[in-house]
Structure 1
């Protein structure tokens, strides 16, 4: 009887652990792989939007088109020829969630319109406090952090240090194209 209770207890702990496992997304790039963990409890609409793009295969063969050392790497919106991919409607800015644009965090890229984020994201390679939420005013609302890199930060740093130049009206484009071969959910929902 004790053995049965122990087995049932272990199974329940495993089930609870799996239910509480944070969702992680694996980015496979031509420079190596990295994994991000997303925080649906802090930025539910942003995470739902991002994960839908992942599930749809949207990020496959997109590139990191904006790379600035000691700042961030940005991608998820353009193909290898720098053609913008069509996106769904923008998601509301959830930057007032207590998360900071610290080294290794992932956040939504956007235009000056605070509620213009669609599919593009960036990974901070420095602590970028000037991107954090400070007030609800449009020029101080910040950029919504919705997760962090949990493995492969060396790959992110490698990408951030690549030589860049100008291409087709874009600046800070890596001279050697950095391709997201695939993004996939590796655990969670």
Structure 2
């Protein structure tokens, strides 16, 4: 998977189209799928993610997003994320990591997974979602942390399927904030923010 700079923008840019010709019929979704009503995230597995800027506790939902949650667990169990970096930081938008090591060396992952964006989970502040290309079922290891509430990244319809939320930062919110305000050049942190380890932890009372 390449550096994927445009990958989160694909959804928002697609929403900017339209025609000023009022006689033109509105586009019809060829395969409409109604959005699921908003639900609460489930904290089924928790992980301590240690970074060079501090520690965060992540709660992962394997109840509502079993494919995505188990995919993240697989990478953690294999220690895949150890030594990877937050390679893409857009202030007041997202902090993306889990696919590159220092020097932007790509780390190959497993096969892509099925997109689980239509589960009623929203891209709220501090939630974690899977990064992907403009192909819906293309997510592998890369994830992002929402720096604000980004409902534009939610499922809209089958032609704007959004991004799959599967967890949230529940402790170390200040660390998530520090990651997102780090100095960058072309959205790449000037100083590497390294994920030193990810290990299973007890889930605190939420």
User: Which residue does 2:179 correspond to in 1?
Assistant: 159
Instruction: Determine if contact 2:43/2:61 at 8 Å carries over to the other structure.
Output: no
Mapped to 1, the partners of 2:65 and 2:152 lie a distance apart of 19
Instruction: Determine if contact 1:107/1:121 at 8 Å carries over to the other structure.
Output: yes
- Bigger drift between 178-187 and 62-71 goes to 178-187
Q: Please, which runs of 5 or more residues in structure 2 have no aligned partner? A: 1-41
**Deviation >6 Å, runs of 4+:** none
Matches within 5 A, 1:59-74: 59-74=81-96
Mapped to 2, the partners of 1:43 and 1:163 lie a distance apart of 33
Mapped to 2, the partners of 1:78 and 1:103 lie a distance apart of 24
User: Which residue does 2:131 correspond to in 1?
Assistant: 109
Q: Which of residues 159, 176, 180 in structure 1 aligns to 2:191?
A: 176
Residues 21 and 113 (structure 1 numbering): CA distance in 2 closer, same or farther, change over 3 Å? closer
Superposed CA RMSD: 1.3
Residues 84 and 153 (structure 1 numbering): CA distance in 2 closer, same or farther, change over 3 Å? same
Q: Which of residues 79, 82, 85 in structure 2 aligns to 1:57?
A: 79
Give the TM-score normalised by structure 1.
Answer: 0.83
Instruction: Determine if contact 1:61/1:180 at 8 Å carries over to the other structure.
Output: yes
The size of the alignment, in residue pairs, is 162
Give the CA deviation at 1:21: 6.8
Q: What secondary structure, in the 3-state scheme, does the structure 1 residue paired with 2:148 have? A: coil
Give the CA deviation at 1:134: 1.1
Q: Please, which runs of 5 or more residues in structure 1 have no aligned partner? A: 1-19, 166-170
Residues 83 and 40 (structure 1 numbering): CA distance in 2 closer, same or farther, change over 3 Å? same
Instruction: Determine if contact 1:22/1:187 at 8 Å carries over to the other structure.
Output: no
Q: Which of residues 44, 54, 61 in structure 2 aligns to 1:39?
A: 61
Give the CA deviation at 1:121: 0.2
User: Which residue does 1:135 correspond to in 2?
Assistant: 157
User: Which residue does 2:8 correspond to in 1?
Assistant: none
Give the CA deviation at 1:22: 2.5
The answer to whether structure 1 residue 185 and structure 2 residue 183 are counterparts is: no
Per-residue CA deviations over 1:85-119 (Å, capped at 9, x if unaligned) read: 01110010000010000101000000000110000
Give the TM-score normalised by structure 2.
Answer: 0.76
User: Which residue does 1:145 correspond to in 2?
Assistant: 165
Mapped to 2, the partners of 1:184 and 1:26 lie a distance apart of 5
